[in-house]
Structure 1
């Protein structure tokens, strides 16, 4: 059974802008908002006409009244016209991924995650949009002692990617503290979001694809790394709440439902598929931390949010989506 966040119980913004709408979380968010009656402008530099992933992710929004897709690069396009009468901006656009951020691609991370964010925040403020929700990441915490990360912990990003995500959230929050800024900012630190349409380099997607196809799974490290897995529908509900709850502000963890090791994920994938995944173990990769775990207290207190979907249920829904071909195997890395 699949849980649709179209059952957003709380209010939704009347008119919202979602950047990164052709991405994994962005497409789910835009869809849930439209289903709940919002008018949504989605912005992404990947166009459904030219980018197969964008086309697949946006197919659920195809032809829905209330959704308009704009293919544009936030580094150079005029942003203000997109924000006319918007009640909220969800800024999810950016370059993800820890591994590729080491090295020559770093300047692209800075351009997309920091400079484009600066333009979005300035435009949002100038247009008087009351709320901006910015997607941050649990990676800003860096290596921990294995305990749950709380928003007041000192960030220690362990990869160039994580450095840009911390810069991005702090940049928006810095703008919002200026006396003349009409926009309040909520930065959501997402913890390992998974589910249908997840990026193909992500572990849950790779494990389920291996289980379905019989192809071997590359495992970096011994598999005892733990992650706080958050099902995408749960992440969407928290994200909408962050835009609509008037008192929400600052940094909030989105996670704290399903802490599991990578080996446990493999075991669940095995049991769901009835097939034993062949694992090829490789060396750990730099910037991968051993444990991520959210203290969910602030999300509960400020957003009245608790994750509803456990890892087994979420992975089953994710696997069904893969099996029905809503994400083709052909081009997984």
Structure 2
């Protein structure tokens, strides 16, 4: 009898899980079908707010962007704590290097509801900057489950943690949400219904879920669509990092679509400035582009690295990779008008700073 009851309970649980999954898929499809109607609220002006005592939580604090955000907050004498799960998507020693430099990152997964709730309560957090995510377009082709878990499920968990706290959320979206859009420059008002990769779809899902939580719980959030961020202490899987590494070693660098690609390369300091400017602004639900607004061809990008490094690259021309796009180009007029965003680091200056750092980093014992 006991065995029969257990079997019935197990069958009921399995059916319940299936129904939940089906409901989630239907909700996802409905959002995409109605995407053109889902516009961000028009803001004639954003209200500037002052907090007596800020305490910022940065998720993904040992990551590339997260580290630089933490260092900027510390420079500005703002209380900050970081969390990171220190996964091994790329060499984890670089994450520990960043963590050791900042000195404020705890080994906590953003999906850990209990620990995240504890940090928010005990530290009296006033703002959350969510930068923890599974990054990389090409990696998503072979590891889709990692993206659904980190970028969707954990994002929902964070929204659940925040929904009754009144704490505003600043989170990283991505320029990849524009996907196959051919209308350039990319504007926040353009429909984003043609993602070219699973990574892009998960970042768009973040924006949709943030809208749901504003609609249901008045959870305030601003999603920032980053455009090809580069700079010191960057991710080794990014093109500029691997290009520099191979150029200095005399190894071939892969040049996809035979070099016929353009990207809106944006220096890390400009991205961080945009993020920081969102802290003192009161918003409801918002989406902003953060880019340079000046796309560069891949071949010009490589030539700039060659000139700075003083070495010629060995080019290995390849066909375009699935999930990639031909061009990214940010219209940053909305960010300029609403938060005073003003990117000012040129590609040459930014790559010069990166190469200077890379020479020191590559000569360190690993």
Tell me, yes or no, if structure 1 residue 36 matches structure 2 residue 76: yes
Tell me, yes or no, if structure 1 residue 175 matches structure 2 residue 213: yes
Q: Is the CA contact (8 Å cut-off) linking 1:258 and 1:310 kept in structure 2?
A: no
Q: Is the CA contact (8 Å cut-off) linking 1:142 and 1:157 kept in structure 2?
A: yes
Q: Tell me the secondary structure at the aligned position of residue 126 of structure 1.
A: coil
Query: 1:77 and 1:171 mapped to 2: Cα distance?
Result: 18
Q: TM-score, normalised by structure 2?
A: 0.80
Number of the residue aligned with 2:98: 57
Task: Evaluate the alpha carbon distance shift between residue 325 and residue 132 of structure 1 in structure 2; reply closer, same or farther with a 3 A threshold.
Answer: same
Q: Tell me the secondary structure at the aligned position of residue 285 of structure 1.
A: coil
Tell me, yes or no, if structure 1 residue 22 matches structure 2 residue 62: yes
Q: Tell me the secondary structure at the aligned position of residue 177 of structure 1.
A: helix
Q: Tell me the secondary structure at the aligned position of residue 276 of structure 2.
A: helix
Q: Unpaired segments of 5 or more residues in structure 1? A: 1-9, 63-67
Q: Tell me the secondary structure at the aligned position of residue 205 of structure 2.
A: helix
Structure 1's consecutive aligned runs of 4 or more residues displaced over 6 angstroms after TM superposition are: 10-13, 326-330
Number of the residue aligned with 1:152: 189
Task: Evaluate the alpha carbon distance shift between residue 328 and residue 242 of structure 1 in structure 2; reply closer, same or farther with a 3 A threshold.
Answer: farther
Question: Paired residues, what number?
Answer: 311
Number of the residue aligned with 1:6: none
Give the superposition deviation at 1:219: 1.5
1:254-313 Cα deviation digits (max 9, x unpaired): 013431011011100111011111111122100110000011111101111110101000
Q: Is the CA contact (8 Å cut-off) linking 2:221 and 2:283 kept in structure 1?
A: no
Q: TM-score, normalised by structure 1?
A: 0.88
Tell me, yes or no, if structure 1 residue 215 matches structure 2 residue 256: no
Tell me, yes or no, if structure 1 residue 299 matches structure 2 residue 339: no
Q: Tell me the secondary structure at the aligned position of residue 284 of structure 1.
A: coil
Number of the residue aligned with 1:164: 202
Query: 1:306 and 1:74 mapped to 2: Cα distance?
Result: 31
Give the superposition deviation at 1:76: 3.0
Task: Evaluate the alpha carbon distance shift between residue 32 and residue 248 of structure 1 in structure 2; reply closer, same or farther with a 3 A threshold.
Answer: farther
1:54-107 Cα deviation digits (max 9, x unpaired): 112223213xxxxx322122223422111132111001101001112124x211
Give the superposition deviation at 1:122: 1.4
Match of 2:131 among 64, 70, 92: 92
Query: 2:225 and 2:284 mapped to 1: Cα distance?
Result: 14
Q: CA RMSD in A?
A: 2.2
Give the superposition deviation at 1:35: 1.3
Query: 1:320 and 1:257 mapped to 2: Cα distance?
Result: 25
Q: Is the CA contact (8 Å cut-off) linking 2:113 and 2:157 kept in structure 1?
A: no
Match of 1:268 among 304, 309, 322: 304
